[in-house]
Chains A and B, each alone.
Chain A
Amino acid sequence: MVDVIVFAVAGLIVLAGGLGVVLNSNPVRSALSLVASFFGVAVLFVLQEAHFLALVQIVVYAGAIVVLFLFVIMLLGVDEVEDLSIEPLSGQRIGGLLAGAALLVFLLGGLFLSGGDEGAVAVTGTESVTQPIDETQPNIDNLATDLFGRNVLAFEATALLLTIATVGAVVLVRNAGAEDLSVDEPGRADH
């Protein structure tokens, strides 16, 4: 019972955060709504007894990634307001809404129609053919055996990916041909 309540509350936080991201006109508020959403997801992870993932969710996503988002928002300048009343293509928004709604119906239909033979509602997870992870084993071990065992290649590739991100950011930030390797100043890009 408590599980259901925790799930409902966390789910509501996730959805409210998501709506906040989309509906807020101030991007800083959107970013902070995203933090709320991430916290909700972290609680959902806890509910699934995946504490390490919950920790990662908070440390990496709510901590680092949103900070990066905020830097980008500040970089672009929050005070620059874009007029959202202009639609580049007429009917674009309504079309987008309809497409989104259609996708939602399609997805929910797909999920609920895939139930067992008794007509039971079976959303993903209950259909899974794997056993639940043994509760006596810490799931950080499960994660590590996978990460350092079978997926070691993906693990090393991730390191390269992060290095590539740095290289790319340095290139896009540095000023072309500057002797002292100085950094581009905002708003002074010479075209």
Chain B
Amino acid sequence: MTLAFLAQQTIERIPFDSPTIDWHAFAPEAILLAWTCLVVVVDMVGLERARRFMPGLTGVGFLLATIPVLTLWNDGATRSLFEGAYVVDRYALALKGLFLISGYVVVLLSTQYMADGDYYDSEYYILLASSVLGMTVMASARDLITIFVALELLSIPAYLLAAWRKRDLKSNEAGLKYMLMGIFASAIMLYGMSLLYGVAGDTRLSVIAEKLTSEGTKPLLTLAALFTIIGFAFKVSAVPFHTWAPDTYEGAPTPLTAFLAVASKAAGFVAMVTIITTAFPGQADVVEPFMWVLSALTMSIGNLIAMRQTNIVRMLAYSGVAQAGYIMAPLAVYSQTGQNGVSAASAIVNYLIIYSAMNLGAFAVVIAAARKTRSGEISSFGGMLNYAPGLTTAMTVFLFSLAGIPPMGGWLAKWQVFSVLLQSESTWGTTLALVAAVNTVLAAFYYLNVAKQMWFMPAPDGDTSRVRVPPSLVAALAITVIATLLSGVTGLVPDITDFGSIALGR
């Protein structure tokens, strides 16, 4: 007997068709979700005894989830799930790979740091894994609801992790500021999204694009587009929405700062790129000038403030703000360059991959050096050549790369951005390229200042005992140095990010 008699008979119920799920396309997320649950279970069963297995276990989870990313990449087909709300194409796969590998490197950075600090290791890795899961979902999301839930899934663990050293007031400040600003940004973004839904009547980006194009430009659509973008501008710490970044970066545990500066920022960019290129192809006359201003402000102000910093983490924080300016620059000309913004997207993903390698590497050196110097001041790096030649060389590679000096990867990343800007053959694109060029020169000044300290200055306290670098940090440094050098010398990354004719879910 069914319970149908309870329902009113006149009501016609909507039939439900179970969506067919392409499990292969869904495998990275499924594995990571299952693995996160496994980590929770291991923590529940083992309690304190499980603590030392946590980093290894989580790292294996990230690597396992990378396997289906590789098989899907080999397959090469664009797979669309849930009526186009979730798309697995090369764009998404390149980013999923980036998030999983950066997650793995962050685990390597955290292993010794967390074990030394007597922090809550197990939970740290649980939260890290769920944040990375949110990012992998974000890479494929082509639907406002999925994008929003993915954003929250990657942000909320990050808010908690930023406040991880809870006996430390600075860490509390970091977590609180990050959370308040993040929630504020989410609220603005949700308002924009609700307007978008109100106009389009659908949450899928491809449908929104169709409706918006037929509606033309209206003040309401401008509001909707700008509010949605501003939400992500907070996430990528674009000026003037960057105020949380330096305090959060300084107060949070340093491995987590690396995670925020790289993976979390990349995830914000992914959402920004996906939404702008997929949903707003018809709103370019509004979005492009906005992105131009945002990009120019971000790189200039980020660089000017970075120059004045004496703390290495704050310096890297502001330099990260400035780098965000370069990364978003192609969005200022996305409609004027090849294939409906795909070439802009390629340049951005290319930059994100190289930026992740060099910035994670720089943070790895900072973490390794801080084990000896117990200081975050740039002056404490003095004379490092004498007692830590390996670290000095690695840091020099990362700094040169960040400054954009050939043949390091950072040079290639900047080259791609410049070429997209100039391809547009518009005044806007050319002037933004000029602004970026001036900023690149400015930035070289403070990056090379750190290198100068390491190579030519004496050690501040005359202590030249060797730095002992734990094996996990050595592994992290090896991965990032190789990635930085290889991407610069071989031009491998542009091959990966050459999405060709792949339309972002359309």
A residues bordering B, Cβ < 8 Å?
106-107, 109-111, 113-114, 124-125, 127-130, 134, 136-138, 141-142, 144-145, 148-154, 156-158, 160-161, 163-165, 167-168, 170-172, 174, 176-177, 189-191
Contacts and interface: CB of A to CB of B under 8 A. Distances in A.
A133 to B, nearest CB: 10
Interface stretch (B9-17, B98-106, B461-469): B9-17
B195 A124 contact: yes
Interface string B325-361: 0000000000000000000000000000000000000
B10 A136 contact: yes
Contact of A150 (B85, B150, B167): B85
A129 B29 CA distance: 34
A10 to B, nearest CB: 18
A149 B17 contact: yes
B167 A190 contact: yes
Given A110-B222, A153-B137, A160 B11 contact: no
B16 A145 contact: yes
Contact of B198 (A128, A152, A154): A128
A113 B152 CA distance: 33
A168 B160 contact: yes
Contacts of A157: 133-134, 137, 149-150, 153
Contacts of A111: 219-220, 223
Given A129-B199, A172-B163, 20 more contacts: A109-B219, A111-B219, A124-B220, A127-B220, A141-B13, A142-B14, A151-B143, A152-B82, A153-B146, A154-B145, A154-B150, A157-B149, A158-B149, A164-B130, A164-B160, A171-B160, A176-B118, A176-B166, A177-B118, A190-B167
B374 interface: no
A106 B85 CA distance: 32
A161 B156 contact: yes
Nearest to A139: B14
B219 A164 contact: no
A138 B14 CA distance: 8
A96 to B, nearest CB: 13
11 contacts: A110-B223, A111-B219, A138-B13, A145-B14, A150-B85, A151-B82, A151-B146, A152-B82, A164-B130, A165-B156, A176-B166
B48 to A, nearest CB: 10
Contacts of B86: 153
Contact of B157 (A127, A130, A168, A189): A168
Given A149-B16, A168-B127, A163 B166 contact: no
Interface in B212-230: 215, 218-223
Given A138-B11, A141-B13, A150 B202 contact: no
A118 B171 CA distance: 56
Give the interface centre of A113, A129, A153 by most chain B CB atoms within 10 Å: A153
Nearest to A107: B223
Contacts of A127: 198-199, 215, 220
B27 interface: no
Contact of B85 (A148, A151, A167): A151
Interface size class of B (residues with CB under 8 A): 35 or more
A35 to B, nearest CB: 20
A171 B10 contact: no
Contacts of B33: 156, 160
Contact of A148 (B11, B16, B160): B16
Interface string B63-82: 00000000000000000001
Nearest to A154: B149
B201 A168 contact: no
Interface of B: 10-14, 16-19, 29, 33, 36, 40, 82-83, 85-86, 118, 120, 123, 126-127, 130, 133-134, 137, 143, 145-146, 148-150, 152-153, 156-157, 160, 163, 166-167, 169, 195, 198-202, 211, 215, 218-223
A144 B16 CA distance: 9
B152 A161 contact: yes
Contacts of B149: 153-154, 157-158, 161
A107 B198 CA distance: 15
A114 B218 contact: yes
A141 B166 CA distance: 45
Nearest to B21: A152
User: Which of A127, A158, A164, A174 has most chain B Cβ within 10 Å?
Assistant: A164
A154 B239 CA distance: 30
A141 B211 CA distance: 25
A4 B146 CA distance: 35
B13 A110 contact: no
Contacts of A174: 120
Given A127-B199, A128-B199, A130-B201, A151 B145 contact: yes
Nearest to A159: B33
Contacts of B29: 153
Contact of B200 (A107, A129, A137, A145): A129
A129 B222 contact: no
B157 to A, nearest CB: 6
B218 A124 contact: no
A161 B36 CA distance: 12
